[in-house]
Structure 1
């Protein structure tokens, strides 16, 4: 069921972004009198799942979910309609319009992407506010089990205080700022320390087969249920009981439990639980896999009630949400441009972490939550807008680049040159798509 929810969110988010992006081209094209021959969600290679002609435009849904497009008459695009371009320009064609109108048409999709992201951030701020874990309230640092992090000097219990130039105010600041960071500062045993990250840290991280803890939260072992197959079935345990000690050793966090149980395989051990304000002692059996056969889990509210951390909540008025939404939008824009800069630097190895459609799919959780969905969609809208601005022929940015050249120099590139440029750009895009999705396949097979 989880994968169905993921796919549903992925397709809904992708479809929304594609339709609105193409509307950004479609609307100014119609306003300036350019004829739009096709408006498609997904690509209709050989055939369409649905199509209907209204006026001069065929609206349809293709079968290949790699994007979408609008086909504007008299424009050299991915259709490579060279026969139409060989004819004399018609008044309703794209190529007949002034350069400034063509520029607006080409920038329309990116503008809508950025506007959508801002509207989403504004709406989320007004409806939900902000809710985050106060990093200063973390008691005993983070769970750090990833071999790469352990190798360069981090260990469980380190309390991260700074990532690069950014102070860690809430827990999400760690992951949010790690890309491009050169160092990480933390507190260990009351002393402030700093570790300089390897230049190819992101490359090593992407290539690692391990999926161990990457600055994760630490949780207590709170009983949810006893498995039917457990050796401890029938023991006097209730939902909400918290393990405090095992064999006399403190187990405030469940990550402390595994090494203790590993030394007690096949044995019986005394375990102390906290039930409300009462401490109870039980003798539990450890199976040969170093497991107790007890399902555990803890809610965010329970963690707060137990004093493990403090959740901060901020609510915003309608007016305040405009500024908060703008700040979130510009912050995410800056971070994404920073990511592209790091990926473009071969020395960082960050290109190894570039993913395709499978990676995007996995960004969505396997449960439905509208706040999460819209937050992810806003970021993907920024990503789509920025990528489309890249000066690669076949992308909006490539068309914009040639239009700016025309407006500055007063000379329009020939149709033949644009055809060649479009072909080169198309192959560049295919190579990038194959590389990104190839990374996904490589990781799935070898990691």
Structure 2
């Protein structure tokens, strides 16, 4: 069922983005009276799941879900329709239109993607607001188990104060500024400590493979006691908080493992918080150093117990435009930072480059419209920026040659554009194979 939910979100988001991106090319092409021969969701390599001709355009759905396209007459694109290009130019063809019209047609897709992302962020801000955790409210700091962070010098209990020169006040800001970070300032037992990150920090994180940089520290709240547990007969109820063992205070669940190793096979006295009352119970620690008690993850209870403070910010409809704009611009800045890191071999960030499985994996295994729209907005920006790369097979490649034509007054020859398109296509295929190959390599090695 989890797979069905994830794949449904993935395909819905991908389809929405592709259709709107191609619509961004289609509408200005039609406005400038340019013939559009095909409008396809997914690729129809020798076969279409659905197609219908309306007017001069064939609308369809292909079987290969790697993108989509509009085929504009008189344009040198991935179709490489040399037969059409060998004919004399017609007034309704792309190549016959003024350069400024062709530029608008080519920029239409990424323009729609940027507009879509901004609109989504505005309505997400208005509908859901912002929920975050105050860094200085984190009781006990972070639980650090990621080996890369441990090797860099982080310790459990650290609170992040700043990344480079950017002060961090909210938990979500860590992920926002970690790309390109050279040093992180933490609060360790009331003292500030600067941790210098290795240049290949991102590459090490990719090699390590953990999805969690850090975790929150939670108390041991009881969910249930299984029938097989040595403590089945003990009066322990759901919601009880185990505070100590044999008089030793254990505020966080991560402290129990080491303590139980020292108490293996013993009967211990546990201090338990039930509601507002503190009681004691005798618990058995089995020979595997376990209590055999399932713990409860209850964010509301953690807040009540003072383990962290949640900030909830709601926006009026007018305020949501500024809030959405802030999310929009920060996402663009962060994505450019990611690209910069990826294209710098020293960072090792290219190891984290992923393909379709990596995109699939970012969707949650439960249905959340808030998460869906936020991820769709991010993917829309990603699609726009990647399409602007100056690779001939992408929109950015066409734009590059159009700008050259507008500045120099000379149009590149069709033979040159055909060759450039072939080179760009192979570059694009190489990138796709590398990204998806990374996904396969990670799946095998992990």
Q: Same fold (TM over 0.5)?
A: yes
Q: Which residue of 1 aligns with 2:168?
A: 168
Deviation at 1:273?
Answer: 1.5
Q: For residue 227 of structure 1, report the CA deviation from its aligned partner.
A: 2.5
Deviations 1:174-222 (A, max 9, x none): 122111010000011211110110001111111115x385222111111
Paired position in structure 2 for 1:300: 299
Contact 1:25 1:109 in 2 (8 A): yes
- Name the Cα RMSD after superposition: 1.4
Comparing 420-429 with 265-274, greater Cα deviation is found at: 265-274
Q: Aligned partners of 1:377 and 1:262: how far apart in 2?
A: 46
CA–CA distance in structure 1, aligned partners of residues 339 and 134 of structure 2:
29
Corresponding residue of 2:67: 67
Deviations 1:264-319 (CA, angstroms, capped at 9, x unpaired): 44444332221112222223333454433322223222121111111111111111
Larger deviation: 376-385 or 230-239? 230-239
- Counterpart for residue 105 of structure 1: 105
Q: State the Cα distance separating 1:434 from its structure 2 match.
A: 0.8
Query: Match for residue 379 of structure 2?
Result: 380
CA contact under 8 A between 1:333 and 1:382: conserved in structure 2? yes
Q: Kindly report which structure 2 residues correspond to 1:7-406, keeping only aligned pairs within 5 A, or say none.
A: 7-209=7-209, 211=210, 214-406=213-405
* Superposition deviation, residue 241 in structure 1: 0.5
- CA distance in structure 2 between the aligned counterparts of 1:118 and 1:402, rounded to whole angstroms: 28
Aligned partners of 1:243 and 1:271 also within 8 Å: yes
Distance across 2 between alignment mates of 1:229 and 1:52: 62
Instruction: Answer whether contact 2:136 2:159 (CA < 8 A) is retained.
Output: no
With the length of structure 2 as denominator, give the TM-score of the two structures. Answer: 0.97
Is the CA contact 1:144–1:213 (under 8 Å) kept in the aligned structure 2? no
Q: CA deviation at 1:18?
A: 0.5
Alpha-carbon shift at residue 131 of structure 1 (Å): 1.4
Structure 1 spans left out of the alignment, 5+ residues? none
Per-residue deviation at 1:134? 1.2
> Following the alignment from structure 1 to structure 2, what is the Cα–Cα distance between the partners of residues 342 and 109?
26
Q: Quick one: structure 1 residues 238 and 199, their matched pair in 2 at CA, closer, same or farther if it must change by over 3 Å?
A: same
Report the Cα offset of residue 407 of structure 1. Answer: 0.6
Partner of 2:79, secondary structure, is coil
- Measure the CA separation in 1 of the matches of 2:246 and 2:40: 65
Distance in 2 of aligned mates of 1:155 and 1:326:
36
- For 1:379 and 1:36, the matched residues in 2 are separated by 29
Tell me how far apart the structure 2 counterparts of residues 82 and 285 of structure 1 sit (CA, whole Å).
80
Indicate the SS of the match to 2:290.
coil
Unaligned runs of 5+ in 2: none
Give deviations 1:406-445, integer Å, cap 9, x for gaps.
1111111111111111111111111111111111111111
SS at match of 1:222: strand
- For 2:399 and 2:144, the matched residues in 1 are separated by 46
The answer as to 2:411 corresponding to 1:412 is yes
Following TM superposition, where does structure 1 have runs of at least 4 consecutive aligned residues deviating by more than 6 angstroms?
none
Q: 1:105 to 1:289 in 2, by over 3 A?
A: farther
Moved more, 429-438 or 281-290: 281-290
State the Cα deviation string for residues 43-92 of structure 1 (Å, max 9, x = none): 11121111111111111111111111111111111111111111111111
Given the two structures, how large is their TM-score scaled by the length of structure 1? 0.97
SS class of match (1:139): coil
CA contact (8 A) 2:390 2:397 kept: yes
Contact conserved, 1:131 with 1:312, CA < 8 A, in 2?
Answer: yes
Say if 2:144 and 2:213, in contact at 8 Å, map to a contact too.
yes
Contact 1:143 1:214 in 2 (8 A): no
CA spacing shift, 1:423–1:255, aligned 2, 3 Å? same
Range with bigger deviation, 230-239 or 313-322: 230-239
Which residue does the alignment assign to 1:2?
2
- Equivalent residues of 1:38, 1:58 under 8 A apart: yes
CA distance in 2, matches of 1:297, 1:131: 22
